[in-house]
A and B are shown apart, each in its own frame.
Chain A
Amino acid sequence: MASSQHVLLSPAELSYLHSSLSLTPPIRPDGRSPTQYRPLSAETGILPGTNGSARICFADGTEAIVGVKAEVEKTKRRWDDDAIYSENQPTEGEGQQQPGRDGDNGEESGSSEWVELTVEIPGYRDDDSGTIFLGQMLSEALLADGGFVRKLRINRRFHWRLYLDILLISPPLSYPLPLLSLTTHLALLATRLPKLKSEGDEDPFFDDDWAAAPYLYPRDPSNKQKVVERPPVTLLVMAVGGNIIFDPSKEELAVADVALAVSIGDDASTAQQIQGGDKMDVDSFSHGSGSGRNLKLLSIRTVDPPSRLTPPGVANAANSAYGHAQVVSSAGAGGNSQKMPEARQTESEAVEGVWKPPRGGAKAIVMGALVQKVLIRGGVADEVLDALEGVDTS
C-alpha cells in the first residue's frame, strides 16, 4: 500500500489537525504524547511449522504475522574462489574469530540474496509499488551492515537461505511500517536453526533434536532470556511545524511536513564495553545506569507523506462566496490579469487557519533533528527496544 492512500479529510479538518499538532506540546487526536507508541500485544512461536514466527496486535486493531522459514542452499562459487581459498588458508583461524575484519573477501561475508522478504497486504497486489517499497525498507535495514547474512553462513560451500513472509492480517488502517518492522524483529528473535553436527566444509548434517537448536540471535549464556545482539527496528517519525512525532496514525500522516523511516540497530558489543570496561566513561555516566544502549543508524528513507496530495483550502479573501465575487465579476475583460496574481498569492502565502499542502523538499536541519531525536540515548528507540525485550521469545 502506498503511504499516500486517500484520507477523507476536508481542508478545514486538515488545517485544524495541522495546527493542533504544531502546538507545544502537540495535541494528538488519540491523546498520545509525541513520543508515545500505540500500545501493543505480542506473542512469538505461534506457528510450529516455521523456524520462527511472531504476531503483533496494535491497539488500533491492526495485526500482523511474520513467519521465517530456512532452507539449506549451496553457495555459488566464484571462478577465483580457489585462489582465495589457498591464499587465506593460513589465516583462516584468525578470520573465524574475528568476522567482519575481512568481510569483503567473499568468504566470510554473506550475500544479500540469501534473504528473501515478501510483504502481503490484503487487497493489494504483490507488485504494487507501495508493497514493494515497504519490503525494500524492511530488508534494507536487515542487510545494511552485512552482519545478518554472515549468521546464515554454514561453511564454505553451504549457507542458509532465509524466507521472511510478512502478512498484514487486518485491513491497512494506518501506514503499517512500524507494525511490520516490530513483528519482523520479534520473529527473527524467535528464529532457531537446527544445530550443525558436521564439521568444516563437509556436506551439512544437523542434529534432529529441536530443543538443541540454537537461536539465530544468540542468547547470553549466563542469562537465557537476555539476547546479546538484536535485529534492527524501523521507526516511523514525522515532523509537523516545529514538532517531531513518533508512530503517526493515518490522519496525522496526512498533515506531515516530512515523514521519515529510520532503521536502527542495537550495537550490543560496544554497549557492553562502555558499561563493563570503564565505569568512568563520561557518556555512560551522564545518562545514568541501565540505558546504556548504543544505537547505530542503519538506514533512512523518506516516506512520501500523503499531505502533498491533499487539496488546499481557500482563504476567505480569495473566496467568491465571501464578497470576493465582486472583484472577479467587475473585472470584466481585464478579469484574467486581475485574477491570476490574486490566485498566485493565495497559493504561495500561508494564511492562518487555511490548509496548504507542504511543497518542496525537507530542510536539512529538520532531517537532522529527526534522526537525532531517534538516536538519542534513553529516547523512543530505547523504549521500544526495552518493550520488545519484555516479550518472551523462547
Chain B
Amino acid sequence: MPLDTSTYGLALLRVDGRRWNELRRIYAQIRTQAAADGSSYLEMGHTKVMCVVTGPSEPGPRRGAGISSAGGAGGGGGGAGGQSKDAEVVVNIVIAGFSSVDRKRRGRSDKRTLEMQSTLANTLAATLHTHLFPHSQITISLHVLSQDGSLLAALINAATLACVDAGIPMTDYVTACTAGSTSTYAANDEGADPLLDLNHQEEQELPGLTVATLGESDRVVALVCESRVQISRLEGMLAVGVDGCKQVREILDQVIKAQGQKMILEGTVDKGTGLNDMDLD
C-alpha cells in the first residue's frame, strides 16, 4: 500500500497525525526481570522491544551465538574474547515471528538482523568501558515483540537502558532516533521537510536514516542509512535526527532517575553521599 504523501503539504500533518518534529510516545521500564543482570523494556510507538544483559561474566565455552565485537585490542574478532584486554560485547537479536503484521519468520542468519547486531555491538563496545573487564564477555539479548518502524533506534535505546541497569560503566547514554524526508528520492521537491521518528509506513516509502548520539553532545556514534537520499537533504535530516536523540535522552534519563528514586525509597540501595540534593518526593 503506497503511502499518500500528497496530503502532507496541505495541513503539514503526517499519516499518524504528528508534525514533522514530533516523536512518537516513548514508554520505557528498567529492571523488568529479576534474574538478569540488567533488563529493560522499551516502546517507541508500536515498536516494542525487550533487552536482557548478562555479564560482564566469564566467556562461556560456546561461541558464535551472536555477532561479537572485541573492542579495539582484540582484533581477531570472536575468537579473541577470552584473551583480550577488553570485554567482548556479544549482541543477540531475536525478532519474534508475531512481531510484524504478517507473520514472517526470520532465521538467525537473516542479513538484516546480522547487520543490526554488528552495528549495536560496535556502538556499545565504543561507549561501554570495556577495558575495565578484561577476559570477560557482556551478552546483550534483545527480543523484538512488535515492530512499527525505527527498529534499530529502539534496540539501541533499550540496550542503553539495560546496560545502565546492569551497572556497566559507560561514557554516557547512547540514544538513537530516526529521521526522514517528506518526499521520495525521485521527486525533485525543493521544499521537502525533514521528518523525525519514522513509523513503518513512512519507512517503507520515504528516505530515512538512523542516528545515535552520545549523551547531550552532538557526537554521532552510529549512523545508518539504507535508502537513497539526495545529498542536499541529508544535512537537514541529520540535524533533526540529532535533535530527536536529545529528546530521547531526556526521556530515558527520566526513566532511570525514577527507577533510582524508587530503589532508594524501597531501601534496595543505600542513599549515596552525592544523592542528598535529589528530590525524593
Contact = CB atoms under 8 A, between A and B. Distances in A.
A120 B93 CA distance: 11
A116 to B, nearest CB: 9
Nearest to A171: B54
A366 interface: no
A171 B35 contact: yes
A163 B65 contact: no
B89 interface: no
A62 B101 CA distance: 28
A61 B31 CA distance: 11
Interface stretch (B137-145, B168-176, B210-218): B137-145
A167 interface: yes
B99 A49 contact: yes
Given A49-B99, A118-B105, A165-B96, A61 B141 contact: no
Which DSSP category, helix, strand, loop or mixed, fits chain B's interface?
loop
Interface residues of B, number: 29
Contacts of A173: 35
Contacts of A10: none
B108 interface: yes
Contacts of B96: 65, 67, 120, 165, 167
Interface string A48-88: 01100100010011110101110100000000000000000
Given A47-B146, A171-B36, A123 B107 contact: no
A69 B103 contact: yes
Contacts of A62: 35
A170 B98 CA distance: 19
A61 B33 contact: yes
B52 interface: yes
Contacts of B98: 47, 49-50, 53, 67-69, 163, 165
B33 A126 contact: no
How big is chain A's contact interface, by range? 20 to 34
B94 interface: yes
A57 B34 CA distance: 9
A170 B94 contact: no
A118 B97 contact: yes
A118 B106 CA distance: 12
A122 interface: yes
Contact of A49 (B66, B108, B146): B146
A165 B35 contact: no
Interface string A158-183: 00000101010111010000000000
B92 interface: yes
A124 interface: yes
A125 interface: yes
A170 B107 contact: no
B23 interface: no
A163 to B, nearest CB: 5
Given A122-B52, A126-B108, A169-B33, A69 B92 contact: no
A125 B54 contact: no
B50 interface: yes
Interface string B18-48: 0000000000000001111000000000101
Interface in A109-167: 118, 120, 122-126, 163, 165, 167
Interface of A: 47, 49-50, 53, 57, 60-63, 65, 67-69, 71, 118, 120, 122-126, 163, 165, 167, 169-171, 173
7 contacts: A47-B145, A63-B35, A65-B96, A67-B145, A123-B141, A170-B36, A171-B141
Given A49-B98, A65-B143, 6 more contacts: A67-B98, A120-B96, A122-B143, A167-B143, A170-B33, A171-B36
Interface of B: 33-36, 46, 48, 50, 52, 54, 62, 65-66, 92, 94, 96-101, 103, 105, 107-108, 139, 141, 143, 145-146
3 smallest CB-CB distances across A and B, nearest first, come from: A61-B35, A67-B98, A122-B141
